[in-house]
């Protein structure tokens, strides 16, 4: 089970970060890089799959299933994927309906899932494979 206080601290420490397409530098990441960084801070490692030129979370999403499984009951530390009209985005569940994510417009923010930029999007939640405590 992910320590919610550690997750909250990791997200808080990145609230001033900015969005940079394909960014993987501290303080300048895209939604994939930021999500990987936050999860690594709480002990969940995810490989950084090659984009292959698409430049968005879609390629990452295709490979992500190798390490995570879907869940209908999101908890702190689960990953949220959003898809709408060919656009993809991802973030980290903070508990309840709140998702933290790195946006092009505002950098790192915390929002209710129904108030995110891709509102009315298809939202899927995922949990790490092989973690029985995460159910």
State the pTM of this model: 0.84
Containing domain of residue 91, as a range?
Answer: 4-129
- The pLDDT tens digits of the residues spanning 16-31 come to 999 998 888 999 999 8
Whether 121 and 113 have beta carbons less than 8 Å apart is answered as no
Please give the structure tokens belonging to residue 110.
């915390």
Residue 77 predicted with pLDDT over 90:
yes
What integer is the mean pLDDT of 78-96?
82
CATH number at residue 8: 3.90.1720.10
Closest CA to 94 of 108, 110, 83: 110
Domain annotation covers residue 134: no
Question: The tokens of 100 are what?
Answer: 């933290």
Instruction: Tell me the pLDDT of the chain averaged across its residues.
Output: 81
Q: How many domains does the chain have?
A: 1
CB 93 within 8 A of CB 80: yes
Residue 70 lies in a domain: yes
Which of 11, 14, 40 shows the shortest CA–CA distance to 98? 11
Q: Does residue 124 belong to any structural domain of this protein?
A: yes
User: How large is the average pLDDT for residues 104-116?
Assistant: 81
């Amino acid at each position: 089970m992910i320590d919610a206080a550690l997750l909250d601290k990791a997200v808080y420490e990145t609230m001033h970060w900015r969005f940079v397409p394909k960014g993987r530098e501290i303080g300048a990441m895209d939604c994939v890089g930021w999500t990987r960084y936050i999860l690594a801070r709480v002990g969940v490692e995810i490989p950084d799959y090659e984009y292959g030129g698409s430049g968005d979370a879609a390629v990452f999403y295709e490979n992500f299933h190798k390490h995570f499984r879907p869940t209908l009951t999101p908890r702190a530390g689960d990953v949220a994927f959003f898809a709408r009209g060919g656009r993809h985005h991802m973030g980290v569940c903070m508990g309840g309906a709140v998702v933290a994510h790195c946006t092009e417009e505002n950098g790192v923010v915390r929002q209710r899932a129904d108030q995110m930029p891709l509102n009315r999007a298809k939202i899927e939640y995922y949990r790490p494979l092989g973690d029985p405590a995460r159910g």
